[in-house]
Amino acid sequence: MKVDVLLGLQWGDEGKGKVVDVLTPKYDVIARFQGGPNAGHTLEFNGEKYILRSIPSGIFQGGKVNVIGNGVVLDPLLFKEEAESLAASGHDITERLFISKKAHLILPTHRLLDAAYEASKGSGKIGTTGKGIGPAYTDKVSRNGLRVGDLLHHFDEKYKAAKERHETILRSLNYTYDITDLEARWFEALEYLKRFRLIDSEHVINTFLDEDKSVLAEGAQGTMLDVDFGSYPFVTSSNTICAGCCTGLGVSPRNIGEVYGIFKAYCTRVGSGPFPTELFDDTGDRLCELGHEFGSVTGRKRRCGWIDLVALKYAVMINGVSKLIMMKSDVLDSFETIKACVAYQIDGKEVTEFPFEIDENVEPVYVDLSGWQTDMTKMKSEDEFPEEFNAYLTFLEDELNVPIKIVSVGPDREQTIIRYTEED
């Protein structure tokens, strides 16, 4: 059995949580392979709305195993809040959630370092969520991190050394703080974390595969935020691409099956960094309003723009995407004309390959397409799609050379349409 991978192709916020929830009935295991509690996956069903930060989005489907993989950085305090909130709404996850011993912990001082580093950058701020994710990954790659499994191996000694190292850095940055309350609550959350099954996830995942169990790997953030291939340095601290699944779960590349790439029918971005198709006019405001484009974790307003096919082709290539999923189609329902960026104009030259660096000299080259001006939110099958919307889908498939298999026409899990072809 193979591991199917589901990941975002833009700058995050594509709607991965909803699609994981929709696809979960096909799988035995759902596993998060990277990222931290800065990744808010929103799900809506039965009139309720849920936001997951660290817990895999398959947790609402009964009888499924959910795994937090070794590539994730975990804040016990935020995890406890998330798990207790789910339990309060009738979803007790204690027996169905496994946590990798090799997942790194976000310490209280990681949060302080995040704030101190960001403050020291001044106008060059990256726009982090301030949850300590970057410093936690920094400790990981510098071989100074604490892992979930350390809870079972001389933890107090290791924690003390890490805290002292962080406080030395904070003093050098002249950053004042009081960690007393945060640290006390964090240690309480550590005890709560121990209620869950702490596993050697690489062995468990591969045993599932040997037993012909189906596994769906859930990515966080988006391809254009990948630390190696995204719009560096305005990126996250982990590998958000398909290759990150192998290192984030401990599976071989030969065990990767379908790669589902998710994108919005337009484009958004949160925080700082380049965004060639960003709109600063009424159209951008309209996309934001219609799409309710505010971060599920941070609440920050998302920057909005037309779809960028230069970046999207790049993301499809990097990930080896085999099936596409288009989200928020309904947000464009009322537009008379829809634009799509098919190239960049750089120093008087038109380019279609994503460049090393994007700056103010990059100008998007657009094509205009007819809008469908039809309310699609009540549609149940592709037979109801208006002609102009079908033309938009065909245009995108021709440009990206990958079939669009799923179309979302609203936030609820029921507002999801699977497209069928002769191969199905």
Determine which one of 21, 41, 104, 330 is catalytic. Answer: 41
> Do residues 59 and 86 lie in contact, with contact meaning Cβ atoms separated by under 8 Å?
yes
> Do residues 337 and 319 lie in contact, with contact meaning Cβ atoms separated by under 8 Å?
no
Q: Which residues contact 419 (CB under 8 A, 6 or more apart)?
A: 382, 403, 404, 405, 406, 407
Q: Which residues contact 202 (CB under 8 A, 6 or more apart)?
A: 70, 100, 102, 249, 250, 251
To the query of whether residue 13 is one of the catalytic residues in this protein, the response is: yes
Distance CA 269, CA 13 (A): 8
Determine which one of 4, 13, 114, 330 is catalytic. Answer: 13
To the query of whether residue 75 is one of the catalytic residues in this protein, the response is: no
Which residues does residue 408 pair with via DSSP β-bridges, in sequence order? 416
The alpha carbon dihedral of 118, 119, 121, 124 has a sign of positive
Q: Which residues contact 128 (CB under 8 A, 6 or more apart)?
A: 38, 114, 118, 134, 271
Q: Which residues are catalytic?
A: 13, 41
